[in-house]
Amino acid sequence: MPRKFFKRHMPDHRQIREHKQLQMFGALLHEPNLWHLNRRSAAGAFAVGLFSAFVPIPLQMILAAAMAILFRVNLPISVALVWITNPLTMAPIYYFAYKVGAWVLHQPPQVFLFPPSFDQMLTGLNAVWLPFLLGCFILSSVSAIVGYFTVSGLWRLYIVRQWKRKKQHEKSSRNR
């Protein structure tokens, strides 16, 4: 069952409640819906976590936790998915976000020299901030929608298959 898979890989809720960056939420972390694991909470958590992962701010985990509390979805999954954008993946993901934003705005992508000079960074930021933020918003929104419907659909597909197997097993048991 999907629930068994997620429970096996999720940290204990006491660990998360005691996490130093999440202490600001205090008693809100005691909401039982944040720890339930069902199709709605898992799919919602994927949407929240994927949306938060592509928001270009520091401490994305706090944003994911706040959104999980607001929407009452599974907190551990929401916070864990933020790590899609980690120090290894951040540069290519954000560069892709910039390219998406530039494409939507019909702007030619800027050429970046490596290593960048301080002057290039100051003048270059003025030209790239709008496509970059638009691309991040597009990636956040699309990944949240796709993540929600994918998890919800896969969870439902699994349950339907389990029902069919159970019916088949009951039918074969009666025929014996």
- Categorize the per-residue pLDDT at 173 as very low, low, confident or very high, splitting at 50, 70 and 90: confident
Q: State yes or no: pLDDT of 67 exceeds 90.
A: yes
Q: Into how many domains does the chain fold?
A: 1
Range of the domain at 161: 2-109+116-174
Q: State yes or no: pLDDT of 1 exceeds 60.
A: no
In three state form, how does the secondary structure of the chain look?
CHHHHHHHHCCCHHHHHCCHHHHHHHHHHHCHHHCCCCHHHHHHHHHHHHHHHCCCCCCHHHHHHHHHHHHCCCHHHHHHHHHHCCCCCHHHHHHHHHHHHHHHCCCCCCCCCCCCCHHHHHHHHHHHHHHHHHHHHHHHHHHHHHHHHHHHHHHHHHHHHHHHHHHHHHHHHHCC
- Categorize the per-residue pLDDT at 31 as very low, low, confident or very high, splitting at 50, 70 and 90: confident
For the chain, the farthest-separated pair of C-alpha atoms sits apart, in whole angstroms, at 81
pLDDT digits (tens, 9 = 90+) for 77-133: 999 999 999 989 998 999 999 999 999 999 987 776 656 666 666 666 777 889 999
25 vs 72 pLDDT, higher one:
72
Q: Could you tell me the pTM of the whole model? A: 0.77
Q: State yes or no: pLDDT of 175 exceeds 90.
A: no
Q: State yes or no: pLDDT of 5 exceeds 70.
A: no
d(CA 130, CA 109): 12
